A and B are shown apart, each in its own frame.
Chain A
Amino acid sequence: MTQETLLQTLRAEFGAAVTGPDPAAPRRLLLDVERARLPEIARRLIALGARYQVGVGSDDRARGLGFGLIHLFAFDKSGFTTAIRTSAPAETPEFPSITPDIPVAGWTEREYRDLLGFRFPGHPKPKKLILADDWPDGIYPLRKEVPYNLVPPAAEDVAYQLDEAPPGTTMVPVGPFHSSLHEPAHFAVYVDGETIKGCDYRGFMTHRGIEKLCQTQVSYNEIPFVAERICGICGSVHATAYAQSVEEAAGLAVPRRAEFIRVLMLELERIHSHLLWLGVAGHLIGFDTVFMHAWRVREPVMWLSERITGNRKTYGMVVLGGVRRDISPETAEDIRSVLKKVEAEVLGLKAAILKDSLIHKRTKGVGHMPKAEAERWSLVGPVARARSIDIDARRDHPYAAYNELSFDVPTADSCDVWGTVLVRLLEVFESVKIMRQVLDKMPAGPILAAPQEALPAFRHGLSMVEAPRGESVHYVITGEENRPERWRVRAPTYTNLQGVPRMLLDNQFADFPIIVGSIDPCYSCTDRAVVVERGTGRERVWDRAELTTLSRAGGK
């Protein structure tokens, strides 16, 4: 299928309910659809083989357009994406819910319920997702009239109402702070004995208001540095994805050499991230030898990043129109020698752990989720590839220099945690392969073509970048004041985390950490959205001295 045939199909079936495509997004099929027929059209797109990515809500009242909601769909096999846009009048921001058909749209709709005050009749779980429990009703932080630094008064005695426990089960809370999760997230796990029968998730405790901040305060070329700080591990992914989406929207050409250098940094990041994950996974199943040695192997990669970019992480390489630092011939040699060493070490690591029966026992059949279910929940990245869903944004929707590079996309068909271990380990070798090709094929030339004039306003740009943990989606609508009008970030964990309750079902409670860990969760990426939160009021405040005494007294 091509964009044209899809457009014809939709026009034939829905007639005047589908208009467009809007020239504001030249490379993407941006269609306006009738609000009432949104679920029907979304359902049809899924039936045609689309994968739901995310929704982008926007406040366009200043332009007299009411509220907008764009749902993004990717056709991975055919290599294109489409966006369907609906709008609602400012007084009644009501959109029909597509969640009953597409469960993974659930968070998107809940997010805009919180942030823009949209209403979604028919949503199966219309609960708070993003905002703090004590956030007052009727204030929607992403609306333009709400200042970016608004702090409403805190309220006491409000708490999130967890889902009701299924009959015959007991609730075990995991989090908000838990030793195996490293970041704040609250799972209410419903267990029958040791077996998990259900799970409710309350996260978004680390909002930093990045989207709102960047839409109101900083300028285009400062955002790559803010974007990089969305995630501590795949920062370069977010910076690149942001830059690419603005470049697409504004029609900026990027020098070829810069695109190769971007690929180099993305793959270097993938190697370090997969080794980090492997170590953490070993730690989560109590196998600390793996943890120690995966991280030992990873360390030369961090030092290499430091030599190339000036920092171990947050490389700061990407700006609009290119990259900031070139790769000299000496650096290229340095990279080759580190790659050689890392490849040999990872081979050794793979040989030493993949046949270990302990790892097999702790991962095989654990977190089982059949392919059909994984597709229904739109899983991305290694989590999907471990369930034989052969998707990879690098190959399906090539960006930067990936169209010139050859690599395999490893998949597994075990549909469990074991598959994710295998896929990630094999991907390290693919990354090494890609980096070697980059060094061989990189053309000479400039590394930066800085924009010379103001970027056009109200153009749309979309970028998908395959982060180590899956596909990151950035959507930018350019604005007038040297900053985006709307910038939507969807980290891979945002979709994968929604599938976790299904993965946990009927597993042993002791496997909870490794199942959640298998998606390589990154809560700070997912929680990136809006407005600094304040803690909910507690009945009693323990100060540090009291807590110290309490912990030393053994909890008595």
Chain B
Amino acid sequence: MWITSKFKQIVLALKPGRVTLGYPLTPRTAPENFRGRPAWDHTKCLGCGGCADHCPARTILLRDVCPEIRVLLYDGSRCTYCGRCAEICPEKAIVMTPDFELATGSRTDLAQSLELFMLTCSRCGRCYDMENRNAVDRLGLRGYRYDNLEARTVLRRTTERFEPDVLAATETFERPTRMEE
């Protein structure tokens, strides 16, 4: 009977009352286990690069600027918040914070970078020689084989129409391979 269905629908609609939440006027906190913006604790970080190695989005980049200084850059604009970095980290230097209100006009707001002082070998003076020789480098190798800090591997610029000069102006970004035109 369609008419009883209509009554049931009225009950269905009235019973729960108002369910719309007051957010954002009423703040809402994320649950305990939430995977929000990851944060690095530089006092705990060893610089092993395991996070860069395992990041499915390749959003954690590593570079040794000299034998003593290793730079780690987290580019949050491409992060998928899978939490793999925090899980992998042997020193628990990464935690997934409950921060989720991350909308911003500038991608640098989401980035975090660490400059890590790496101990050098007292005998040879350089342990981290970018060669595939020691355990720490082997851990991180796969993470930065394709990436480096200057040429971030993303190119996404939106303009109202296609502008070849805008494209040309983005030369600092690595572009996908182009065929001979």
Task: Name A's B-contacting residues (CB within 8 A).
Answer: 147, 149-153, 217-219, 221-223, 225-226, 229, 289, 292-293, 296, 299, 303, 306-311, 314, 316, 324-325, 348-349, 351-358, 482, 532, 541, 543-545
Q: Pick the residue among A296, A352, A482 that contacts B8 (CB under 8 A).
A: A352
A289 to B55: give the CA distance in the assembly, Å: 42
A458 to B110: give the CA distance in the assembly, Å: 41
A339 CB, nearest partner CB in chain B, Å: 18
By Cβ-Cβ distance, the 9 closest A-B pairs, closest first, are A149-B176, A310-B35, A357-B2, A352-B8, A222-B56, A225-B56, A543-B160, A356-B5, A355-B5
Residue of A nearest to B179 (CB): A152
**6 A-B contacts (beta carbon < 8 Å):** A149-B176, A218-B56, A306-B34, A310-B96, A316-B35, A541-B162
A306-B30, A310-B83 known; 12 new pairs, CB 8 Å cut-off, are: A221-B54, A222-B55, A289-B9, A289-B12, A306-B31, A311-B81, A314-B80, A316-B83, A348-B12, A352-B5, A352-B9, A352-B11
Contact with A along B95-119 (1 / 0, CB 8 A): 0100000000000000000000000
A153 to B181: give the CA distance in the assembly, Å: 6
Q: Is the CB of A316 within 8 A of B176?
A: no
Chain A residues closer than 8 Å to B8, beta-carbon distance: 348, 351-352
Contact with A along B65-106 (1 / 0, CB 8 A): 000000000000000111110010000000010000000000
Cβ-based interface call for B169 (8 A): no
Q: Pick the residue among A218, A325, A355, A541 that contacts B33 (CB under 8 A).
A: A325
A309 to B87: give the CA distance in the assembly, Å: 13
Residue of B nearest to A547 (CB): B160
A544 to B5: give the CA distance in the assembly, Å: 46
A353 to B177: give the CA distance in the assembly, Å: 54
Chain B residues closer than 8 Å to A348, beta-carbon distance: 8, 11-12, 15
What class of interface size applies to chain B in its complex with A?
Answer: 35 or more
A306 to B1: give the CA distance in the assembly, Å: 39
Q: Is the CB of B19 within 8 A of A296?
A: yes
Chain B residues closer than 8 Å to A225, beta-carbon distance: 56-57, 80, 82, 84
Q: Is the CB of B1 within 8 A of A293?
A: no
A306-B31, A545-B160 known; A150 and B179 CB under 8 Å?
Answer: yes
A151-B177, A352-B9 known; A296 and B16 CB under 8 Å?
Answer: yes
A329 to B176: give the CA distance in the assembly, Å: 49
Q: Is the CB of A307 within 8 A of B84?
A: no
Residue of B nearest to A354 (CB): B5
Chain A residues closer than 8 Å to B12, beta-carbon distance: 289, 293, 348-349, 352
Chain A residues closer than 8 Å to B19, beta-carbon distance: 296, 299
Q: Is the CB of B2 within 8 A of A358?
A: yes
